[in-house]
Amino acid sequence: MANLAQKVTLISGGARGIGKAIAKRFHAAGSSLIVVDTSENALLELASELGRNIITCVADVSCEVSVEASLTPIITTHGPVDILVNNAATVTRRAKITDLKSDEWERALSVNLTGAFFLSKLVIPQMCDNGGGVILNIASQLGHVAVEGAAAYCTTKGGILQFTRALALDHAEDNIRVVALSPGAVDTPRLTDIFGSPEVAERNLGPAHPVGRLGRPNELADTALFLVSDEATFITGTDLIVDGGYTAK
């Protein structure tokens, strides 16, 4: 099993869904955590579950001032950060762009893409000073293929893939690996909120995947652990798709 002992991981959107699964998996592998989320209650619940070696921070990753003011003191005290997981994301309502409000478009861009820029910009200098690190960007199968009514989300996740490649080239010489993970549809509270229940989500989206079901958060967390571990030191500037065969069709 990959060992993250003595590592510090910063995870955005880490109190719910895939982010929470990654946080718990990395913690079990020995990493100390700095978990950022907009939900104070979800952060308190996660901290209670894990018990120790976790610092939580309520912040909006789309606001650079909020990111710097909230995280700089924490990183100074508990860092340096060895692993950054850019996971925070938002989903717009299903609509063609002619029916999408400009603030909905801007919100998707600012959280899903610009938030990753802000956090990466914050931690890269101290990663360089510390001899390197790993940045894992959570993209999506919808960064590779599109669906109707999701132009904003598809655009931001495609942008994350290019951001990953560009950042990897910029910082390979600094011993910083930058990789992306593209999930398919995964059984998370967000999906339940959209469809009303896990069963309805499974019936609607499971058959679209050749394996015949939704992904599970722990499957993404296990893959994420591999990508940030010393077992993947020759992997950078690329993306691993974990989508049950969806994009193979």
Active site residue: 13, 62, 122, 153, which one?
A: 153
Question: pLDDT tens, 107-116?
Answer: 999 999 999 9
DSSP state at residue 174: G
Instruction: Examine the pLDDT at 1 and tell me if it is beyond 80.
Output: no
d(CA 202, CA 190): 13
Strand (E) or helix (H) holding 36: strand 32-37
Rg, the chain, Cα only: 17
User: Average model confidence (pLDDT) for the chain?
Assistant: 96
pTM: 0.96
Question: pLDDT tens, 33-80?
Answer: 999 999 999 999 999 999 999 999 999 999 999 999 999 999 999 989
In this structure, which topology does domain 8-184+217-237 adopt according to CATH?
A: Rossmann fold (3.40.50)
In whole angstroms, what separates CA 116 from the centre of its chain? 9
Strand (E) or helix (H) holding 135: strand 133-138
- Provide the b/e sequence for 71-84 (b: ≥16 CB within 10 Å): beebbeebbbbbbb
Instruction: Examine the pLDDT at 123 and tell me if it is beyond 80.
Output: yes
**Catalytic residue list contains 246:** no
Give the residue extent of every domain in the chain: 8-184+217-237
